Structure 1
Amino acid sequence: MNHFNLLPRFKAQYDMNDQEFSISGIVRPQSIDELAPSIALLRDSIDRVRGVLYLNIKRLSQMNNTAFHAFSRVIIDACRARPDLKFVIVTSSVVGWTTRKFGYLNAIEPNITVQEYDSQFYPGQSFLEEGGFIPILRTQTKLTWRHERTILPRHGMKTGVVMADVCCGIGDFAVLVQREFEPSRIVALDHSKSSLAYARNMAAEFDIKGIEYTHGDASEMLLEDDQFDFVTCRHSLQIFNRPELILKELYRICKPGGRVYITNEKISQCLGEPRGDTIQWTYNELAKLFAYFTMDIEAGPKNRRLLIEAGFEDIRAESFMVTNLDGDPKDFANVVQSWEDVFAGDMSQRRGDNSKFVKRFRRGFQDHIFAALHPKGYAGWPVWVASGQKPL
């Protein structure tokens, strides 16, 4: 693999194994001469390639017209000189202008196509980014925070850390951490524009300062290497079809010696009494429903292995059970009701489940609510926690 560090915050490289030329950072040269090393690398890459050359611009945050025309000229000339060669330009929806701008090249040369990398990467995103899902996120965090506020220090959280909350959702966890532990800086990143808009509105309404809400793709973050002491990613790896890509990024942005903290569930182990049998059936089926949409909501016990395979050391792992006894039982019931609304509603409908199945599916959620509110009942939702240290 060849590397050139060109201008500040700008990197171009070629990966021979993947036949991929990538550009990342900010590319704003005053003259084409400043791009000479990267243009030479691109031409050399083209000479080496057979079939398809991938141009990866997922981390390209800025590019002026001088740079755009210089790179485009090389690509177009190559298409005309070598009709056998195809270019696939890989963009990200997080940096929306790249898809639009590089999309013009396809109109000029049919051998140039543009693929938006993350358009299919988040299979469950449409379910979990709906505005109606906001109440469930807030209530879930309220319930888990009673446990996590005592767990976090065991995993490295302390006053003054520089922290990133990746897949921050509506930002409520970042707010709670800020108030309890007072990090020196928090960057809260999410792929959902609607969730971030909600987080920013809440921050403005309650005069919350010091949290930098950032739109980004967790698998290709526009954040620099080795800059955070503590990185969190809660209830999120389980909804990505390739969690190893997220873990690679969490590792990258974490400082050597810093820690990455993750939480996931094993939904089939939700429990309740009375009516335990119907509750168990529904959560077993819920795990299958998520798997149908390529999400692994059984990932909790896999946390330790995932962190080890991502290169972390000093792994710390534990679990806790959120129950109807953690404060007001109605909070637990409200979470389960939200689960029923989304999972036995839109998700089940999109899978094509018949009415008989949906009726039985809903019954388990309703029985879980019954157990939560019953004066002698018990209802539980297990969460697995793990953290790992990035080697020094």
Structure 2
Amino acid sequence: MSEAASSTYKVRFDENNQEFSIIGSMRPQYVEELDSCIRLMETSIAKVKGTVYVNVKRLVRLNNLAFHVLANLLVKACAERPDLKISVITSSVVGWSTRKFSALREISPNIVIEQYDSAFYPGQTFLEEGGFIPVLRTQTKMTWQHEKAILPQHGMREGLTIADICCGIGDFAVLLHKEFQPARLVALDHSKSSLAYARKVAADFGIQGIEYIYGDASEMLLDEGQFDFVTCRHSLQVFDRPELILRELYRICKPGGRVYITNEKNSHCLGEPRAESIQWTYNEVAKLWAHFNMDIELGPKSRRYMTEAGFEDIRIESFMVTNLDGDPQNFADIIQSWEDVYAGQMSVQRGDSAEFNEKFRRGFQDHIFAALHPKGYAGWPVWVASGRKPQ
């Protein structure tokens, strides 16, 4: 790994991945201020065979002088080496970068622009549908009565600086704000529609003090080591590379602070009566998610992921959300929404047969039957894990 830095930006080259990264704000007044960056980029490109990746996902500012220097260097490299391919990796979070660097495609056919997060969030479109929002709120309402008691056992208390990453529609952040009165609360998500809804809910409830931020959880534009407590709920299971999210959660957490995550193991959903049909359907749910590079079985794997991310004092437990946690119809509504998304969208997109889908749907309906049966029991398990960032 080779690096160079100024007071406002860092550049580094990872030879194993052939990736040159620029992080921070690059706004020089004179070309000479970029000398160390230029030298590192030139020597890095000289070592590369095939494709070199230029990662600007966390380049938050770039003036015209710096852009022209970088652009000329990349175009020149392609002209001198026709065998060389350059892939510029941008992010939708820094919207201008895709537009600006796309101009290079017209100059050199060997330069391509890839918007990284368009492929990184394979399940996001399934979970952003407007009709799913009321169900997400119901889910949080039912899990909160468990988590409210569990959170203090994992280090939550009043007056902390908190980040809620992948905050979704923001209802959990609102509950944290009301219950634990943080000194600061940042809520970040990659969905603009979810954040818009979250801001509306906070305004409707008259809540001030939650900072809503649009951002990529795997490449956050947040300074490192600034939060006492970082939460990320039901989200690692949605991403095809959860270790990248955990790396960022670790980075923004203060030394001695804690990161708190929740995830599921859907194949452990249960119900009586009609247990066999229910079990079959949720085993198939796990396979369906895996088809879309998501892991709804991640819950019990949390300890391994947190250990590999470098956390210590890892605490893990599970709780069961059931039809007895208040109104059984709330539980039934959650299951109906799962059927609508999993059987109505994901299974169809995978190309499953009508016969499969009929049996698939029957398991969800049997779960609802168990939830609403006067003698029935229905459950949905959630795993909680937290780890401390070493001092």
> TM class by shorter-chain length?
over 0.9
Query: What's the counterpart of residue 366 of structure 1?
Result: 365
Cα distance in 2 between the residues matched to 1:238 and 1:18: 25
Matched, 1:127 2:130: no
Q: Offset at 1:58?
A: 0.8
SS at match of 1:120: helix
Q: Offset at 1:20?
A: 1.5
Q: Offset at 1:43?
A: 2.0
Query: What's the counterpart of residue 50 of structure 2?
Result: 51
Amino acid at match of 2:4: F
The number of residue pairs the alignment matches comes to 391
SS at match of 1:220: coil
Following superposition of structure 1 onto structure 2, how do residues 66-215 of structure 1 map, counting pairs within 5 Å?
66-215=65-214
Kindly provide the CA deviation profile for residues 192-234 of structure 1, in whole angstroms up to 9, marking residues without a partner as x: 1111111112122222111111111111111111111111111
SS at match of 1:298: coil
SS at match of 1:294: coil
Cα distance in 2 between the residues matched to 1:377 and 1:82: 70
Amino acid at match of 2:2: N
Cα distance in 1 between the residues matched to 2:106 and 2:83: 18
SS at match of 1:304: helix
Q: Offset at 1:152?
A: 0.3
Cα distance in 1 between the residues matched to 2:293 and 2:12: 32
Query: What's the counterpart of residue 320 of structure 2?
Result: 321
Between 357-366 and 78-87, report the one with greater CA deviation.
Answer: 78-87
SS at match of 1:168: coil
Matched, 1:65 2:64: yes
Q: Offset at 1:16?
A: 2.1
Amino acid at match of 2:6: L
Q: Offset at 1:249?
A: 1.1
Amino acid at match of 1:138: R
Query: What's the counterpart of residue 3 of structure 1?
Result: 3
Query: What's the counterpart of residue 238 of structure 1?
Result: 237
Q: Offset at 1:305?
A: 1.1
Q: Offset at 1:155?
A: 0.5
SS at match of 2:54: strand
Matched, 1:268 2:277: no
Runs of at least 5 residues in structure 2 that lack an aligned partner in the other structure: none
Cα distance in 1 between the residues matched to 2:228 and 2:260: 11
Q: Offset at 1:302?
A: 0.8
Cα distance in 1 between the residues matched to 2:132 and 2:24: 34
Give percent identity, aligned residues only.
68
Cα distance in 2 between the residues matched to 1:359 and 1:155: 42
Cα distance in 1 between the residues matched to 2:11 and 2:242: 26
Query: What's the counterpart of residue 279 of structure 2?
Result: 280
Query: What's the counterpart of residue 383 of structure 1?
Result: 382
Contact 1:6–1:38 under 8 Å retained in 2: no
SS at match of 1:61: strand
Query: What's the counterpart of residue 299 of structure 1?
Result: 298
Q: Offset at 1:33?
A: 2.7
Kindly provide the CA deviation profile for residues 302-339 of structure 1, in whole angstroms up to 9, marking residues without a partner as x: 11111111111101011100011111111111111111
Q: Offset at 1:264?
A: 0.7
- CA RMSD in angstroms, aligned pairs only: 1.2
Query: What's the counterpart of residue 226 of structure 2?
Result: 227
Cα distance in 2 between the residues matched to 1:225 and 1:341: 39
Amino acid at match of 2:115: E
SS at match of 1:137: helix
SS at match of 1:93: coil
Cα distance in 2 between the residues matched to 1:52 and 1:282: 44
Cα distance in 2 between the residues matched to 1:65 and 1:26: 12
Q: Offset at 1:50?
A: 2.8
Q: Offset at 1:54?
A: 1.2
Between 304-313 and 353-362, report the one with greater CA deviation.
Answer: 353-362
Cα distance in 1 between the residues matched to 2:36 and 2:167: 38
Query: What's the counterpart of residue 251 of structure 1?
Result: 250
Query: What's the counterpart of residue 352 of structure 1?
Result: 351
Amino acid at match of 1:354: S
SS at match of 2:120: coil
Between 100-109 and 198-207, report the one with greater CA deviation.
Answer: 198-207
Q: Offset at 1:298?
A: 0.9
Cα distance in 2 between the residues matched to 1:18 and 1:357: 42
SS at match of 2:294: coil
Amino acid at match of 1:327: G
Cα distance in 2 between the residues matched to 1:308 and 1:49: 33
Amino acid at match of 1:13: R
Between 139-148 and 206-215, report the one with greater CA deviation.
Answer: 206-215
Cα distance in 2 between the residues matched to 1:141 and 1:216: 22
Contact 1:7–1:27 under 8 Å retained in 2: no
Kindly provide the CA deviation profile for residues 92-122 of structure 1, in whole angstroms up to 9, marking residues without a partner as x: 1222211111011010011111111122111
Cα distance in 1 between the residues matched to 2:116 and 2:71: 20
Contact 1:319–1:383 under 8 Å retained in 2: yes
Query: What's the counterpart of residue 336 of structure 1?
Result: 335
Query: What's the counterpart of residue 25 of structure 1?
Result: 24
Q: Offset at 1:17?
A: 2.1
Cα distance in 2 between the residues matched to 1:84 and 1:360: 53
Amino acid at match of 2:320: M
Cα distance in 2 between the residues matched to 1:266 and 1:85: 45
Q: Offset at 1:352?
A: 1.0
Q: Structure 2-normalised TM-score?
A: 0.97
Cα distance in 2 between the residues matched to 1:18 and 1:113: 17
Cα distance in 2 between the residues matched to 1:355 and 1:20: 45
Amino acid at match of 1:263: T
SS at match of 1:164: strand
